[in-house]
Amino acid sequence: MDFVAILSIFVMACFVGYYVVWSVTPALHTPLMAVTNAISSVIIVGALIAGAAAGSAGSKWLGLLAVVLASVNIFGGFAVTQRMLAMYKKKDRPAAASKH
């Protein structure tokens, strides 16, 4: 891919991001931050490339360390988002109704 093709993807994705994020309900802004955190750890792709490659020991170890850090974020981010989202309940759900 040449630079302009990549730039086009980037610019389009910025527009998509703009409209998608404005449609997120304010009540879910904390889960939004947690999940964006998890997905920005897609940087693990670069870490895996470095960790898998031969040729430079230094590069390999930096890569492996980055894999660990990004994995903390991926698993932690998705798990904590899941935990938060599971708490959002509507009025007529049994959990709330049983209190009356």
Partner 1 sequence: MEQVAGNPWAALAYLIAGMCFILALRGLSSPVSSQRGNRFGMIGMTIAVVTTLVTHVPAADGGGLNSATIAELLAAIGIGAAIGIVTARRIAMTAMPQLVAAFHSLVGLAAVLVAAAAFLNPLAFGIADRVIPMIGQPFAVIHTVSRIEMGLGVAIGAITFSGSVIAFLKLNGNMGGKPILLPGRHLINLGVLAAILVLIVAFTQDQSAWIFWTITILSFAIGFLLIVPIGGADMPVVVSMLNSYSGWAAAAMGFTLHNSAMIITGALVGSSGAILSYIMCRAMNRSFVSVIAGGFGAESGGGGDGVKVDRPWKRGSAEDAAFLMSQAEQVIIVPGYGMAVAQAQHVLREMADKLKAHGVRVKYAIHPVAGRMPGHMNVLLAEANVPYDEVFELEDINSEFAQTDVAFVIGANDVTNPAAKTDRSSPIYGMPVLDVEKAKTVLFIKRSMGGVGYAGVDNDVFYRDNTMMLLADAKKMVEEIVKSLD
- Give residues 38-67 in contact with partner 1 (rule: CB under 8 A): 38-56, 58-60, 62-67
Q: How far is the CB of 98 from partner 1 (least distance, A)?
A: 10
CA–CA separation, 79 and 11 (whole Å): 30
Question: Is residue 99 at the binding interface for partner 1, with CB under 8 A as the rule?
Answer: yes
Q: How far is the CB of 5 from partner 1 (least distance, A)?
A: 9
**How many residues bind to partner 1 according to rule CB under 8 A?**
86
Phi and psi torsions of 54, nearest 5°: -95, 170
Residue 24, sorted as left (phi over 0), alpha (psi -120 to 50) or beta, turns out to be beta
Q: How far is the CB of 4 from partner 1 (least distance, A)?
A: 11
Question: Is residue 23 at the binding interface for partner 1, with CB under 8 A as the rule?
Answer: yes
CA–CA separation, 44 and 27 (whole Å): 29
